[in-house]
Structure 1
């Protein structure tokens, strides 16, 4: 049985589990009852970090995932055990100011999320994307107000470039406030672009890095052996499989030689990176959650990590050394 380990979220004193429970499938792909069972199992396994977003639930049912999470929080009585994260940015309706990051949008959307989540505060409120139309002064004034009201505790970002992280935290520093404490980015063995500038910026400003899509949409879950159920037949996935087939053959052979499942090794690779707080796993089923928990017991030594760098080369290090002298 794998024992959950914990780390601090970036430079904060907040302790979070090394596995983050993503809830994006709750509603669209997983029934409310099954979603509740997965959340209960996550708590039993020591996972205390739950991630959602106001837009999750499907194109025609945005907000439904937060409602499922909120129902479970109330019924289970586990709110005080959960570090609850959600996001704001996406358009919740076609009406102006029901999306993006204006002060008006932030004020409306945080109240809507609190209602759906059936809680009085959100532990980590994340900007789901950069909003180039909203100045940092307006954004931070809105977020600082929510902190002072007790509606949120920390602010994080998602899908930010390195220079966005720098600009955001320098603006916060001028206001003498905490600024961003985490960045949630696309990061896995097959998608390593953030190693150029996002990870260095996060390290410099003390942000925890929370990788999303740690299995590259199922690509790293054993697609050649047919283990990555559901997405293997999608056209985009088929094209990527063919493009990366030589690497995937080496990857799955590497995992088979170790006697370990590819999806679990992919998570272990992220967990071996000291800058990573914890990867987000978005299980559709209980078995997928159990696999994520099992990744905690996988140890990748220097030789294994070097071999994975050979199979899936990163960008060559940090910028500018990765592409210049």
Structure 2
């Protein structure tokens, strides 16, 4: 396993992040525990979850599954850099969502209880709250750190200017600020290259891409459909994407075949090659899927392959792979 620092912090994390969103709704508790054990076996120490995860099983279920795994001992908690999130509704009453000081306090305490731990290593703001001032948010987060309940803070789904807001507000309080940003980023969705990635690099914020396979579209969906599989390829998103960009996806799968690599592994390797990316979140539903994803760490994409990928999935700018404002100006 390869390790890197999380943003400008001194925290060492694996370059593949174990996503747990499937634990509960898609993957049984026993299988979830087996996946987490195997992740440690591969050297993956960075686990990501959220208070709201659980799907049809109920909000909080995923954290509870992880908590029961920690409770089995064997150094499982000590070996894990644990990341969770708060923002989305955990109930129907006022103050059971968003980023008020009240909700942050209650959400953190509830996550600690479900996770059966005394602290969270990385507490992430799951979304921007435009109605709560940063003074209130940082005061609430600062108290959590003073209490020893949280060590580091991150964001998710922030725009570049939101990162700037957060970091400048933290600077005014002499706080470390955010050390990570979790963004929707993959070959087919490259919008964050305009401003989020440059802002993150400027402020020393590590970027953690979610949905690196674009819901399975970049995981060899056409080949799997031909073989009679790819249930995720029949999702509404996949059907829509393939209708609009099926030629690019087909060419992508051919390119992967030409270099002798699985499309899912190439998509992960491409993200690992991007400047500022800490590591993509992989969300295996089985141990075999987790095992297979390790191949991405061994793939080095040469300049010619990277250029071909840019042709198939162009950067989101008429002036090529340039950040804002050059992307849309001179």
TM-score over 0.5 for the pair: yes
* Aligned counterpart in structure 1 of residue 205 of structure 2, from 200, 204, 207: 207
Cα distance in 2 between the residues matched to 1:35 and 1:184 = 22
Cα distance in 2 between the residues matched to 1:314 and 1:59 = 36
Residue 91 of structure 2: aligned partner = 93
Cα distance in 1 between the residues matched to 2:232 and 2:282 = 16
User: Which has the higher mean CA deviation after the structures are superposed, 311-320 or 220-229?
Assistant: 220-229
How far did 1:68 drift?
0.4
* TM-score of the superposed pair, with normalisation by structure 2: 0.96
Q: Given the alignment of the two structures, is residue 225 of structure 1 paired with residue 223 of structure 2, yes or no? A: yes
How does 1:41-60 map onto structure 2 within 5 Å?
A: 41-59=38-56
* TM-score of the superposed pair, with normalisation by structure 1: 0.97
Q: Given the alignment of the two structures, is residue 18 of structure 1 paired with residue 15 of structure 2, yes or no? A: yes
Give SS of 1:183's match. strand
Give SS of 1:220's match. coil
How does 1:309-324 map onto structure 2 within 5 Å?
A: 309-315=310-316, 316=320, 317-324=322-329
Q: Is the contact between residue 24 and residue 57 of structure 2 (CA under 8 Å) also seen in structure 1?
A: no
Q: Given the alignment of the two structures, is residue 280 of structure 1 paired with residue 278 of structure 2, yes or no? A: no
Q: Given the alignment of the two structures, is residue 257 of structure 1 paired with residue 258 of structure 2, yes or no? A: yes
Cα distance in 1 between the residues matched to 2:15 and 2:215 = 20
What per-residue deviation string (whole Å, max 9, x for no partner) do you get for residues 32-57 of structure 1? Answer: 00000000000000000000000000
Q: Given the alignment of the two structures, is residue 64 of structure 1 paired with residue 61 of structure 2, yes or no? A: yes
* 5+ long unaligned stretches in structure 2: none
How many residues matched?
Answer: 322
Residue 292 of structure 1: aligned partner = 293
Cα distance in 2 between the residues matched to 1:271 and 1:73 = 29
Give SS of 1:129's match. coil
* 5+ long unaligned stretches in structure 1: none
How far did 1:323 drift?
1.2
User: Which has the higher mean CA deviation after the structures are superposed, 262-271 or 294-303?
Assistant: 294-303
Cα distance in 2 between the residues matched to 1:60 and 1:252 = 35
* Superposition RMSD in Å: 1.0
Give SS of 2:234's match. coil
Residue 104 of structure 2: aligned partner = 106
Give SS of 1:237's match. helix
Cα distance in 2 between the residues matched to 1:235 and 1:58 = 18
Residue 306 of structure 1: aligned partner = 307
User: Which has the higher mean CA deviation after the structures are superposed, 313-322 or 230-239?
Assistant: 230-239
Cα distance in 2 between the residues matched to 1:159 and 1:118 = 27
What per-residue deviation string (whole Å, max 9, x for no partner) do you get for residues 234-253 of structure 1? Answer: 23311111111111111000
Residue 142 of structure 1: aligned partner = 140
Cα distance in 2 between the residues matched to 1:17 and 1:303 = 27
Q: Is the contact between residue 153 and residue 180 of structure 2 (CA under 8 Å) also seen in structure 1?
A: yes
* Aligned counterpart in structure 2 of residue 132 of structure 1, from 130, 133, 152: 130
Residue 165 of structure 2: aligned partner = 167
Spell out structure 1 runs of 4+ moving beyond 3 A: none
Q: Given the alignment of the two structures, is residue 32 of structure 1 paired with residue 32 of structure 2, yes or no? A: no
Cα distance in 1 between the residues matched to 2:283 and 2:308 = 27
Cα distance in 2 between the residues matched to 1:197 and 1:60 = 37
What per-residue deviation string (whole Å, max 9, x for no partner) do you get for residues 151-193 of structure 1? Answer: 0000100000000000000000000001111000000000000
Give SS of 1:242's match. helix
How far did 1:59 drift?
4.8
How far did 1:129 drift?
0.2
Give SS of 1:155's match. strand
How far did 1:76 drift?
3.9
User: Which has the higher mean CA deviation after the structures are superposed, 91-100 or 283-292?
Assistant: 283-292
